Amino acid sequence: VTTDRILEGLARREPAALARAISLVENQSDGFEQVLSHAHGLLGRGGTRRVGITGPPGAGKSTLTEALIQRFRAQRLSVGVVAVDPTSPFTGGALLGDRIRMESVSLDPGVFIRSMATRGAQGGLATTTEEIADLLEAFGFERVLVETVGVGQTELDIARTAETTVLVLVPESGDGIQTLKAGIMEIADLYVVNKSDRPGADKFRQEVEVMLGIRRGNAFRHMAPHNPSDGRTGGRADSASRLSDGPPVQPSGRWQPPVLGTVATTGVGVDELTAALDRHYAYLQASGMMAEGRRRRLAARTRAVLERKLRRWLLEGTRVEELLASRLDELADGRRSPYDIAAEILDQVKAGGSATR
Q: Which of residues 104-123 bind a copy of itself (CB under 8 A)?
A: 118-123
**288 touches a copy of itself by CB under 8 A:** no
- Burial of residue 296 (CB within 10 Å: 0-12, 13-18, 19+) is middle
**219 touches a copy of itself by CB under 8 A:** no
Neighbouring C-alpha atoms within 13 Å toward the C-beta of 206: 8
Q: How far is residue 14's CA from residue 16's CA, in Å, rounded to a whole number?
A: 5
With CB under 8 A as the contact rule, the residue among 5, 8, 13, 44 that binds a copy of itself is 44
DSSP 36-71: HHHHHTT--SSS-EEEEEEE-TTS-HHHHHHHHHHH
With CB under 8 A as the contact rule, the residue among 60, 80, 86, 234 that binds a copy of itself is 86
With CB under 8 A as the contact rule, the residue among 60, 150, 171, 234 that binds a copy of itself is 150
**216 touches a copy of itself by CB under 8 A:** no
**87 touches a copy of itself by CB under 8 A:** yes
DSSP 204-225: HHHHHHHHTTSS--STTTT-PP
Give whichever of 174 and 251 is closer to a copy of itself, judged by the CB atom: 174
Q: Residues 137, 28: contact at Cβ < 8 Å? A: no
Pick the closest to residue 201 from 343, 59, 97, 20 (CA basis): 59
Q: How far is residue 236's CA from residue 213's CA, in Å, rounded to a whole number?
A: 6
**170 touches a copy of itself by CB under 8 A:** no
- Cβ neighbors of 216 (< 8 A, separation 6 or more) are 210, 240, 241
**337 touches a copy of itself by CB under 8 A:** yes
**232 touches a copy of itself by CB under 8 A:** no
With CB under 8 A as the contact rule, the residue among 104, 230, 298, 354 that binds a copy of itself is 298
Q: How far is residue 163's CA from residue 134's CA, in Å, rounded to a whole number?
A: 12
With CB under 8 A as the contact rule, the residue among 310, 322, 326, 354 that binds a copy of itself is 310
**178 touches a copy of itself by CB under 8 A:** yes
**224 touches a copy of itself by CB under 8 A:** no
Question: Which one of 100-108, 253-261, 264-272, 325-333 is the stretch in contact with a copy of itself (CB under 8 A)?
Answer: 325-333
Give whichever of 81 and 125 is closer to a copy of itself, judged by the CB atom: 125
Shortest Å, Cβ 33 to a copy of itself = 4
With CB under 8 A as the contact rule, the residue among 94, 117, 240, 268 that binds a copy of itself is 94
Q: How far is residue 111's CA from residue 156's CA, in Å, rounded to a whole number?
A: 24
